[in-house]
A and B are shown apart, each in its own frame.
Chain A
Amino acid sequence: MTEPIIYELSVSGRSAAHLPALDVPPSPLPPAHLLRRELDLPEVSEPDLMRHYVRLSQLNYSVDTGMYPLGSCTMKYNPKVNEDAARIPSLLNVHPLQPAETAQGNLALMYGLQQALAEIGGFAGSSLQPAAGAQGELTGILMIRAWHRARGDTRRQVILVPDSAHGTNPASTSMAGLRAVEIRSDDRGNVDLEALAPHLNDQLAGIMLTNPNTLGLFDEHVCEVCRLVHEAGGLVYGDGANLNALMGIVKPAQLGIDVMHFNLHKTFSTPHGGGGPGAGPVGAGERLVDYLPGPIAVRKEGREGDQARYTLRMPAHSIGRMKAHYGHFAVLVRAYTYMRMLGAEGLRASSEAAVLNANYLQALLRGVFPLPHDRTCMHEFVLEGRLADAPGIRALDIAKRLMDYGYHPPTNYFPLIVPEALMIEPTETESKQELDRFASALRSIAEEARREPELLHNAPISAPVRRLDEVRAARDLVLSWTRPTRPAED
Chain B
Amino acid sequence: MATNIPADCLYAENHEWIRVAGDTARVGISDHAQDELTDVVYVELPEVGDSFAQGAPFAVVESVKAASDVFLPVAGEIIAINEDLADTPEAVNEEPYGKGWFVEIRISNPDELSSLMTPEAYAAYLETLG
Contact = CB atoms under 8 A, between A and B. Distances in A.
A413 B65 CA distance: 10
A475 B85 CA distance: 11
A474 interface: yes
A420 to B, nearest CB: 13
Interface string A397-425: 00000000000000001000000000000
B42 interface: yes
Contacts of A474: 41-42, 62, 64
A306 interface: no
Interface string B61-98: 01011000000000000000000000001100000000
B39 interface: yes
A488 interface: no
Interface of A is mostly: helix
A474 B63 CA distance: 9
Which of A413, A470, A471 has its CB near the most chain B CB atoms (within 10 A)? A471
Interface size class of A (residues with CB under 8 A): under 10
A70 to B, nearest CB: 18
- Chain A CB within 10 Å — which of B62, B64, B65, B89 has the most? B64
A470 B62 CA distance: 13
Contacts of B65: 413
Interface string B32-56: 0000000101100000000000000
Interface residues of B, dominant DSSP: loop
Nearest to A471: B39
Contacts of B39: 471, 475
Interface residues of B, number: 8
Nearest to B89: A475
B69 to A, nearest CB: 15
A3 B54 CA distance: 53
Contacts of B62: 474
A475 B41 CA distance: 5
A423 B39 CA distance: 26
B19 to A, nearest CB: 26
Contacts of A471: 39, 41, 64
A222 B64 CA distance: 36
Contacts of B90: 475
A39 to B, nearest CB: 32
Nearest to B38: A471
A41 B42 CA distance: 32
A474 B39 CA distance: 10
Contacts of B89: 475
A443 B64 CA distance: 30
Contacts of A475: 39, 41-42, 89-90
Interface in A430-484: 470-471, 474-475
Contacts of B41: 471, 474-475
Contacts of A470: 64
A413 B39 CA distance: 18
A475 B65 CA distance: 13
A52 to B, nearest CB: 29
Nearest to B39: A471
Contacts of B42: 474-475
A421 to B, nearest CB: 13
Nearest to B62: A474
Nearest to A470: B64
A279 to B, nearest CB: 29
A413 B66 CA distance: 12
B128 to A, nearest CB: 21
B89 to A, nearest CB: 6
B62 to A, nearest CB: 8
A475 B39 CA distance: 10
A171 B49 CA distance: 29
Nearest to A475: B41
Contacts of B64: 470-471, 474
A470 B65 CA distance: 9
A471 B42 CA distance: 10
Interface string B86-130: 000110000000000000000000000000000000000000000
A396 to B, nearest CB: 10
A142 B64 CA distance: 32
B37 to A, nearest CB: 12
A413 B64 CA distance: 14
A474 B42 CA distance: 8
A470 B89 CA distance: 14
B124 to A, nearest CB: 27
A475 B87 CA distance: 8
B42 to A, nearest CB: 7
B90 to A, nearest CB: 7
Interface in A129-180: none
A474 B40 CA distance: 9
A470 B39 CA distance: 10
Nearest to A474: B41
Shortest Cβ-Cβ A-B pairs, 4 listed: A474-B41, A471-B39, A470-B64, A475-B41
Given A470-B64, A474-B42, 5 more contacts: A471-B39, A474-B41, A475-B41, A475-B42, A475-B90
6 contacts: A471-B64, A474-B42, A474-B64, A475-B39, A475-B89, A475-B90
